[in-house]
Structure 1
Amino acid sequence: MSDDRKERALSNWRKLLEEPEMQLDAEGLYFMLLELAESLERDGVITHAEWRRLTREASVILTRTEEGEERGA
């Protein structure tokens, strides 16, 4: 696996995390990020440890969004 391909894939994942192009709710974005991370691991682009880190990051975003919604309610 080339480092360049890995860098591009991780950059695209982070872009989706930080600036989702589609109008998704937090849960939809979370599941999209998980599917992408699973695909990257399955294709050998990232290691299992990197997959765990990405899934934790996606979980943090989901939790923050849900907590913010609860406070605003």
Structure 2
Amino acid sequence: MSERHEVLMQVEGMACEGCVKAVTRIVQGVDPRAEVAVDLAHKRARILTSADTLEIAAALDKGGYEASAMTM
């Protein structure tokens, strides 16, 4: 893994605190050192990670969420 960077993702399909925990768990499954801050109201996740953005989006999609990177 490379240097850590910040990623802002739109994550559709989140409805409750259980979803927040699931999204965090999925992201940390890709990068165990990732710092994840989920904004349930706006359906966004701010992630500090060394993993590839597409890899994170693919893992979230596989987990049942529709994820796409947002520009900052």
Q: TM-score normalized by structure 2?
A: 0.36
Higher Cα radius of gyration: 1
Q: TM-score normalized by structure 1?
A: 0.35
With CA pairs under 8 Å and 6+ residues apart, which has the higher RCO, 1 or 2? 2
The structure with the largest helix share of the pair is 1
